[in-house]
Amino acid sequence: MSDRSIHRRFLAYRALSIRAYVPFLLVFLQGRGLSLSAAFDLNVVFILAGMLAEVPAGLFADRHGRRRAMVGAGLFMALASAIFIVASSWAWFAVGNALCALSMALSTAADSAWLYEHSDGRNDPERYTELEGYANTAKSLGNVVTIAAAGFVFPLSPAGPFVITALVTLASAALASTLPDRVAPRERRGIAEDLRHAASAVAHDGHLLLVMAFSAVTFTLLQLTLFTDAAHLPLHVRGVSASELASMLGLLGSLKEGATALSSARSGKLFARARTSTVVVSLSLATVALFFVMGRASDSLCIAAMLAAAALFGLFQPLARKLLNESISASSERATLFSIDSAGRKVLFAVASALFGRAAESASLHSALRAVSWLSLAAYVVLAMGALGWLRVLRRRPKKKDPLFSYL
């Protein structure tokens, strides 16, 4: 099988690794009797389950191969969708969310590591970045098609988006099983030793730690814009029925996935022309500005800001994977370190989601968005200070006995 054919299969796998029900989830849960705060609490279950599953998923992918992890991701997503279809209580919805989190943990641990290794990313980073952008584009286009189909069937049956997700992710598992795999050579050591090595790599590498912090902050901010759509859109589209609102959410979800696909497709050329530090700073400032606009704008301008958030997310995904892959030296620990990064994102998002949901209920959604704009600015200022401090340490060329050097 040629490399071109292998990469096409991987792109197809990414396109089928979808969650078509996400734009309709809040409306679906409220239709099953859950309050807004209870629905946001399910995000906490999702994040905490993902946090617990992330590192074991990474260890599994490093020990047993990326392909097996990707197959498992598709199977667990299909099972999670089936549970959502039949569930009627918060507890069962929590089980479905936990299985969904396990699926995403396996995928996170395996797919980007697989692509980096099969595209020889260390020796040809531009080629890897280009393929990563195309892979995110394929995923977004897959979401566009399946979300559009879900939006069509949701007014007919609220369970329709979950049926679509189950069928498509089963197909992704079948496709992943046909991909070749490379299990990196590794020392014979126990799971506890693997975890110690990975934790030591994070604790003693200032650059890797900074990349993970930037990844966690930006992911949390952009994900908040996604999970607030169902509560946010009705504030700017008044006088519509529940079925019309569901169709609008489907349309907005498709447009957002299209914006994500376009920005991801162009990310490879952007990274080739602009310095990575310039892209990082620009993305951070744009994210802060986005929350500022969403907290103060109304109607069409605010809807445009929702689409802009999707475009920023399309740029962030390949950027974060590029930064993380380039910061990892040992292939035998790549999936585990990706899992640690993802776990850090989930911890931060769990806290932010719970606080944001309660702030929106006690005050207003726009007040919560305005507060996030200031908090995000403070977070990026702290990260910038950390980056400048790390660069100063490099310029000093410290000795190994320097306590600041040993800390970093």
Residue bearing the bigger pLDDT, 75 or 355:
75
Mean pLDDT score, 301-308: 85
pLDDT over 90 for what percent of the chain? 19
Mean pLDDT score, 103-122: 82
Residue 299 one-letter amino acid: D
Q: Do 22 and 226 contact (CB within 8 A), yes or no?
A: yes
pLDDT band at 83 (very low <50, low <70, confident <90, very high): very high
Tokens of 299: 């109607």
pLDDT over 70 for what percent of the chain? 88
pTM of the model: 0.71
Q: Is the pLDDT of residue 353 over 60?
A: yes
The per-residue pLDDT for range 219-252, each reduced to its tens digit, is 999 988 877 777 777 777 777 777 777 777 777 7
Report which listed range, 60-64, 83-87, 179-183, is most confident: 83-87
Q: Is the pLDDT of residue 401 over 80?
A: no
Q: Is the pLDDT of residue 286 over 50?
A: yes
Q: Go through the domains of the chain in sequence order and give each one's CATH number.
A: 3-176+191-407 (1.20.1250.20)
Residue bearing the bigger pLDDT, 207 or 68:
68
User: Residue 336's pLDDT is what?
Assistant: 82
Region label for 400, one of left (φ > 0), alpha (ψ between -120 and 50) or beta (otherwise): alpha
Helix ranges (H only) for 33-180 are 36-64, 66-86, 90-118, 125-153, 160-176
Q: What is the mean pLDDT of the chain?
A: 81
Q: Do 352 and 66 contact (CB within 8 A), yes or no?
A: no
pLDDT band at 380 (very low <50, low <70, confident <90, very high): very high
Pairwise CA distance, residues 103 & 76, whole Å: 5
The per-residue pLDDT for range 141-176, each reduced to its tens digit, is 888 888 888 888 888 888 899 999 999 999 999 999
Instruction: List C-alpha distances in Å: 198 to 100, 167, 341.
Output: 25, 36, 11
Considering only the C-alpha atoms of the chain, give the largest distance between any 2 of them, rounded to a whole number of Å.
68
CA atoms within 13 A of residue 253's CA, in its CB half-sphere: 30
Instruction: List C-alpha distances in Å: 327 to 111, 212, 307, 322, 337.
Output: 17, 10, 31, 9, 10
Mean pLDDT score, 349-362: 82
Helix ranges (H only) for 331-402 are 334-362, 365-396
